[in-house]
Chains A and B, each alone.
Chain A
Amino acid sequence: DAGVIQSPRHEVTEMGQEVTLRCKPISGHDYLFWYRQTMMRGLELLIYFNNNVPIDDSGMPEDRFSAKMPNASFSTLKIQPSEPRDSAVYFCASCSSLAVYNEQFFGPGTRLTVL
């Protein structure tokens, strides 16, 4: 299995631009998570989905952030408009509710820099 796939791996954009991050979870996993990691705030859960339905988006910082999961194999996290304080590493993770341990498998992350 290829594991959780994220794209792009690095993104540099200018303030005000729209940014779209993409994630392909491990096949068969029914949970998908989006995290953000910064030096100041550590690893924060932004939102998670179960069977493509958003379950908890209380970690989404503000209306500029939105996430979708149109099918079981694809999710996007969009920031519009982007701001310098959005610069961070964004991780996607997935897990299966059928797995005994429910451990999460993380992707390699997308390093976002907003100038």
Chain B
Amino acid sequence: QQKVQQSPESLSVPEGGMASLNCTSSDRNFQYFWWYRQHSGEGPKALMSIFSDGDKKEGRFTAHLNKASLHVSLHIRDSQPSDSALYFCAAGNTGNYKYVFGAGTRLKVIA
């Protein structure tokens, strides 16, 4: 079983709508989480990281972390067609040199 599980596998939202992506870890040693986005034919690019419980907002993107439940979410407000991509959650331990990626959520924003 993967240590980082994402849901849903795919998601469609209308342009201007809210997209919500979820990520759950099975390893209580994970101390930080990242969200990466990958457009078709490209390498993944970092969106944002979150280390502390609560919300972190960057523009239209808000990440929420609940360490007790090992759950992190990404909410995209006012979704745009350019947000259509594969979104990865990654988790790791401070002091380690690597993190673990989930299988991804494919988001489609319908114009």
Chain A complexes with chain B = no
